[in-house]
A and B are shown apart, each in its own frame.
Chain A
Amino acid sequence: MSPKRAPLFLARRAYRRRRLRDGARLLPFLGLFLFMLPLLWAPAPIRPGHLAEVRNTAWDGLWLVSCWAGLVVMAAILSPLLGREEDDLSDHPDNGPGSAAPRARDTMP
């Protein structure tokens, strides 16, 4: 990308794109955290003959389903934006403002 063809607002857009991609990368970890949370908030009652604590199934289920729906919504917001950028990536390699880093991160796990 030559500096002439990349005015400030384009770089800003590229920066935004990059942050969006970061968001997409982080989303599964957020999901993982939310899905694993029920492990923490009630002591696991697996001890032989000891079932004192009873999990609130309805509440757990509601929690999981709402987290799930939240994830779906976030992914639905993110993915069209990400999908659209893939088209113009060839024209504008990913460069945030002031960042001359190559696109190596693109493929990093």
Chain B
Amino acid sequence: MTFNLLVLACLAYVVFLFLVAFRGERLAAQGRARWLRSPLVYTLSLSIYCTAWTFYGAVGFAARSGLEFMTIYLGPTLVFVGWWWVLRKLVRIGREQRVTSIADLISSRYGKSSLLGVVVTLLCVFASTPYIALQLQSVTLSFGVFAATGDPSWTPPDRTSTALWVAAGLALFTILFGTRNLDADEQHTGIVTAIAVEAVVKLVALLAVGVFVVWFLADGPADIRARIEASQGAHWNLNPSRWVGLTALSATAVLCLPRMFQVLVVENVDERHLATASWAFPLYLLGMTLFVMPIAVVGMGVLPRGANPDLFVLTLPLSQGQGGLAMLAFLGGFSSATSMVIVASIALATMVSNHIVMPLWLRLRPHGEDATDLRRLVLLARRMSIGAILTLGYFYYTLTGGSAALASIGLISFAGVAQLLPAMLGALFWRGASRMGALLGIGIGAAVWSYTLFLPSFGPDAVLPAQVFAEGPWGIGWLRPHALFGIEGMDPLLHAALWSLALNVTVFCLASILTFPGPEERMQGAAFVNVFERDRADLGGWSRGQADPEALLVMANRILGEEEALVYFEQVARAQGKAGYLPDPTPEFLLALERRLAGSVGAATAHAMISELAGRTRVTVEDLMAVASESAQIMEYSARLESQREELTRTARQLREANEKLTQISAQKDGFLSQISHELRTPMTSIRAFSEILMEGDLPPDQAAHYAGIIHDEAIRLTRLLDDLLDLSVLEAGTVQLNLGLANLSQLIDRALAAASATRPERVFVVHRDPMAEQIHLRTDPDRLTQVLINVISNARKYCTAEAPELRITVRRKGGRVLVDFIDNGAGIPKDKQALIFEKFARLTDQTRAGGAGLGLAICREIMVNLGGTVAYLPGQRGAAFRVTLPLRLERGAA
């Protein structure tokens, strides 16, 4: 067999895988991939747990330390058999929360902490690096085997360039597949299908080699047993701590490895598949293990001493001239390596792009970028991450020299990702687990792991100087990487795992107990831990028929792009047997659409958008907070509007009132002008008439005197009218001269009552007074005040309509002011007139013209303004009531 043939076979196999993946994707896109999403495919995809390490390395492991290699499978077996404990909850949470990676799980459980996402992502990248290097190493080694036995004239490339080619090829394949579609969902049906095919290939290959070894090289199981007993010697020394430790570590790894999380949780389409996988996956592992020991034993017997036991799977058939079988075994190993690298790099790239690149970009981006750029950016970030991760693996491979046994490299990764276990189990089962606890726990665990296991794995003097191994850093003995706290003689792997996990758990618990989680963290904690206690009816697909297909299309247009959305909708509609672009909003369609959108805008956003349209809303705290702040803004805005509106209303009312008043005043003025001309005219007419009569000159003297008297009276009336007008204008202009002095209010009222009694003297008024309250000494202008009092009292006398009129005068002091109320028992003044009575020329009725010109109250008002007080109508007193308010002491200049 030539090396060229081998390379050709490899390429053909890759092309075959490519076609399988492509076909799978096509079927899934057409919605006909039901069988591609069966429990069988799910179980087979889980087999990426069995990498090239397991494929080649297990035999080497068995040749070196007997049955200890089984621990790597026993741990996962226990985890899967006990799926009811952890896996069921993990998968349920993963589906409920639409988790995209283990970093996503941990960060979203601890309050969507982006820092935690970054830490977990970095840890996973570093922990996976040795693992990827391991795959490169095993493929390179297997190439080497064929090169060595091939055509002697052909010299194979050296191992680093082979590894480079393998790494580049894998990167290309992964990028082509893992990030092919623009609406790349976190679920990759095509990839999963290809992985399942690879799982079958590797199982068949290993079983074929095993069958060949047991029944063709040896004489059946009995012979194998004899050979094992003959060859065992010192190989099977059960080291109890390693036996327990490795089982625990592998059990941890199957939960925490990013690639396992990807196929186990993210790619899971139906929780019930887990029930099948719970027994089928251990069965698969059993199949992978069954012939490992026989191959190792027979290999050790048949092959020359010094042959690398890691490659027995290949060299054994080759040494027997079974080129075809060797090729199958090679493809099996190749499958193991490729499937692991593909899934691991997809998982890691998702984490890197979601937790490192996107947050950074969102923080740094220029404003106003739209979502189409975002999609391209996500894909670009993933592609770059895949390249970077494989480059890292390649460098690890060249740095460590690829010399260590396969199994020990894999265990470094196991111990690394095991640091996520406390935070993850805490996330699932302990509501008290807090962000700070997870952060510190993972941080310290990762630090100890890298110091005691990861960095030393490069070899002495590569990263850590040899002196540190011997004497500890700065000569501190108890900090030696392989003997922390002075405990020597432990297996380095167990030593690292023990200390890192012990410190991790301690710090995690302590910090969780001591810190107080934020509201979002507590919400998420409850949602995770109590995931099964929710209303079960609420789970599962979307309910039917609430979403408007047109609204869905509009939304999809915005996210997927118009053309793509239309095509997709048409496709679905046709699949439903409908013409046109609008399919029925069936639960399946909604679910599919949500998945499709999730690839572009993220799972949470897509879910929220569909929820909104489907009328079933399950909101996150973030949503609530956004909504709350939004509505707070709206409320503030509307409150502002409301107050503005009220102000406007108030102003409008005032304007309207002012307008009404103006209109009334204008009407009054018109009325008064005619009235005053009448008022002026009446005396003038009589004066003219009588003066004409007097001018005749032939009147008896007494008659003449009488007429002169009338003329005199009328002239007085005119003068009084003109005096009033003059007085008012002086008062209004504020230029009135006040004669301030001390006065006793009681005396002023006495005077006013006496003076007012001249008005309608025929009426008998009962006046109620409180002489004690009236004993107030005022500093004011007594004459002016008396004028006001007289006016108010005579108004009462004039207009009080009661049969037995009464007037009540009450005096009160309030602060530095005096209130004098005049209340009669008449009909009062109607409400619509109350505002008018203080206006000039206002007279309520024309009938009761008692000689006034309607200036009395207007003058009173102006006087009171000049005295620093007010006179106002007091409504609601049954009769007409006026209140005179004035300051106790009027300061000069205050008026």
Chain A residues within CB distance 8 Å of chain B: 21, 24-25, 27-29, 31-32, 35-36, 38-39, 42, 44-46, 51, 54-58, 60-61, 64-65, 68-69, 71-76, 79-80, 82-83, 86, 89-90, 103-104, 106-107, 109
Note all chain B residues with C-beta closer than 8 A to A90. 536-537, 539
Contact of B237 among A25, A55, A75 (CB under 8 A): A55
Shortest Cβ distance from residue A34 to the other chain B in the assembled complex, whole angstroms: 10
Take A89-B536, A107-B89 as given contacts and tell me if A71 and B282 are in contact as well, using a CB distance cutoff of 8 Å.
yes
Note all chain B residues with C-beta closer than 8 A to A71. 77, 81, 282
Shortest Cβ distance from residue A23 to the other chain B in the assembled complex, whole angstroms: 9
Q: When chains A and B are docked, how far (Å) is the Cα of A44 from the Cα of B238? A: 6
Is A58 within 8 A of B229, CB to CB? yes
Contact of A65 among B229, B276, B286 (CB under 8 A): B286
Take A56-B229, A68-B282 as given contacts and tell me if A107 and B531 are in contact as well, using a CB distance cutoff of 8 Å.
yes
Q: When chains A and B are docked, how far (Å) is the Cα of A75 from the Cα of B66? A: 27
Given A75-B81, A106-B532, 14 more contacts at CB 8 Å?
Answer: A25-B85, A31-B74, A44-B237, A57-B67, A58-B228, A60-B238, A61-B70, A65-B290, A71-B282, A74-B81, A75-B80, A90-B536, A104-B533, A107-B531
Note all chain B residues with C-beta closer than 8 A to A58. 225, 228-229, 232
Shortest Cβ distance from residue B239 to the other chain A in the assembled complex, whole angstroms: 6
The residue on A at minimum CB distance from B227 is A58
**Which of B240-248, B374-382, B619-627, B646-654 lies at the interface?**
B240-248
B529 at interface by CB-CB < 8 Å: yes
Is B278 within 8 A of A39, CB to CB? no
Contact of B279 among A54, A60, A72, A89 (CB under 8 A): A72
Contact of B79 among A28, A36, A38, A45 (CB under 8 A): A28
B234 at interface by CB-CB < 8 Å: yes
Q: When chains A and B are docked, how far (Å) is the Cα of A24 from the Cα of B280? A: 15
Contact of B228 among A42, A51, A61 (CB under 8 A): A61
Note all chain B residues with C-beta closer than 8 A to A86. 271-272
Is B84 within 8 A of A35, CB to CB? no
Query: Per-residue CB proximity of B854-880 to A under 8 Å, as 1/0?
Result: 000000000000000000000000000
Q: When chains A and B are docked, how far (Å) is the Cα of A56 from the Cα of B536? A: 52
Is B275 within 8 A of A79, CB to CB? yes
Query: Per-residue CB proximity of B74-116 to A under 8 Å, as 1/0?
Result: 1001111111111001000000000000000000000000000
Shortest Cβ distance from residue B57 to the other chain A in the assembled complex, whole angstroms: 18
* 28 cross-chain CB contacts under 8 A: A21-B84, A25-B84, A28-B79, A31-B77, A31-B81, A35-B78, A38-B238, A39-B238, A39-B244, A44-B240, A54-B233, A55-B232, A55-B236, A55-B237, A61-B67, A65-B286, A68-B74, A68-B77, A79-B276, A80-B276, A83-B272, A83-B275, A90-B537, A106-B533, A107-B530, A107-B531, A107-B533, A109-B86
Note all chain A residues with C-beta closer than 8 A to B77. 31, 68, 71
* Chain A interface main SS type: helix
Q: When chains A and B are docked, how far (Å) is the Cα of A89 from the Cα of B282? A: 27
Q: When chains A and B are docked, how far (Å) is the Cα of A42 from the Cα of B89? A: 38
Counting chain A CB atoms within 10 Å of each CB, which of B81, B244, B539 scores highest? B81
* Chain B interface main SS type: helix
B688 at interface by CB-CB < 8 Å: no
Take A72-B283, A86-B272 as given contacts and tell me if A109 and B85 are in contact as well, using a CB distance cutoff of 8 Å.
yes
Is B84 within 8 A of A82, CB to CB? yes
Note all chain B residues with C-beta closer than 8 A to A57. 66-67, 228-229, 232, 235-236, 293
Is A51 within 8 A of B234, CB to CB? yes
Is A69 within 8 A of B78, CB to CB? no
Q: When chains A and B are docked, how far (Å) is the Cα of A38 from the Cα of B243? A: 10
Shortest Cβ distance from residue B285 to the other chain A in the assembled complex, whole angstroms: 8
Contact of A72 among B282, B531, B539 (CB under 8 A): B282
Shortest Cβ distance from residue B682 to the other chain A in the assembled complex, whole angstroms: 99
Is B286 within 8 A of A24, CB to CB? no
Take A75-B279, A82-B84 as given contacts and tell me if A65 and B289 are in contact as well, using a CB distance cutoff of 8 Å.
yes
Note all chain A residues with C-beta closer than 8 A to B89. 107
Is A68 within 8 A of B286, CB to CB? yes
Note all chain B residues with C-beta closer than 8 A to A83. 272, 274-276
Contact of A36 among B234, B237, B244, B271 (CB under 8 A): B244
Note all chain B residues with C-beta closer than 8 A to A32. 78
Note all chain B residues with C-beta closer than 8 A to A39. 238, 240, 243-244
The residue on A at minimum CB distance from B538 is A90
The residue on B at minimum CB distance from A30 is B81
Is B228 within 8 A of A107, CB to CB? no
Is B532 within 8 A of A28, CB to CB? no
Shortest Cβ distance from residue B254 to the other chain A in the assembled complex, whole angstroms: 13
Q: When chains A and B are docked, how far (Å) is the Cα of A109 from the Cα of B531? A: 13
Q: When chains A and B are docked, how far (Å) is the Cα of A109 from the Cα of B530? A: 12
The residue on B at minimum CB distance from A42 is B238
Note all chain A residues with C-beta closer than 8 A to B279. 72-73, 75-76, 79
B429 at interface by CB-CB < 8 Å: yes
Interface of chain B residues 380 through 418 with chain A (CB within 8 A): none
